[in-house]
Structure 1
């Protein structure tokens, strides 16, 4: 009798031990899965963080005037005006692209205005016609200004230039090197044919 009870008790103990071992195994397996998942998440996070660090520097510029969607845009540092116009949908059919320098590299916080055809000429025609006549007398009395070495103050004395255009001339010179001819000054943003006619007898590139 005692032997039978002992066998039953022994079987119960074996079953309990197996159940306990099964529970321990399941818990340890779940723990290992959690650790693996956490590792994958951390790895993905590290990859995303790394890609953000490697992004190219961007700058903010404002493009207005004769463009399809004027406003503020983010572009890559070093983008030229001609490329940036694609981000505002391109220009309107009456945009005067000869009045701007499409090869100019844009800078952060810069605003660029794209005029319509005839807009620049209409605004400056009256003043420039007088300045062209005045420049003929001025050139006979003064030495010509070397646009490769002149500073803002000296360029500011040229008719129709002023401080704003003087800065553009210097910026162009720093970006593209010395002017090879006086005609090259027309590549500076805003200096068109009429403005060039007003100063061509007053400047040199010697």
Structure 2
């Protein structure tokens, strides 16, 4: 009887041990799974990040585009797509001189040239502006030519030097100097004030009137 009881107790202890071992194993697996999943996710994120870095390149797009600048584009894209990222071509772009199907590379500069006609027009416009600026500067200094004066420019009698005054018809060095001395004592308010200058009478004033300006 005692032997039978001992046998039952042994079986019960054995079963309890198996149950406890099974519970511990299950708990360990439950703890291990989140950690393993986290490690797997971290590894996948690192690979994804590294892959994304490798597949992105930086290029500079300039010239005849709407929004010139530096852009990050996929490494597999072509010049056409990089230009699209910069807003596309402008109206005066010369797309025939750009290889739109060329693959981009990191550090690449994509410059879209302007059409030849547009460049010529812009150059001519700048040249005209430069000439206009020169003419305006000369006009401020010497005055503008008047009708019937031929190639002679009018002279501003309150600011012109003695040499510039000698450009006027019938004005020599001595008379030019007297004009300067006269205006130093009182500026000219009209061409008629030249009558204050010794040596200038009404007849000479009539010849000078079309070539002088009062500034």
TM-score normalised by structure 2 residue count: 0.37
TM-score, normalised by the number of residues in structure 1: 0.38
The structure number with the bigger radius of gyration is 2
- Structure possessing the higher relative contact order (Cα contacts under 8 Å, 6 or more residues apart): 1
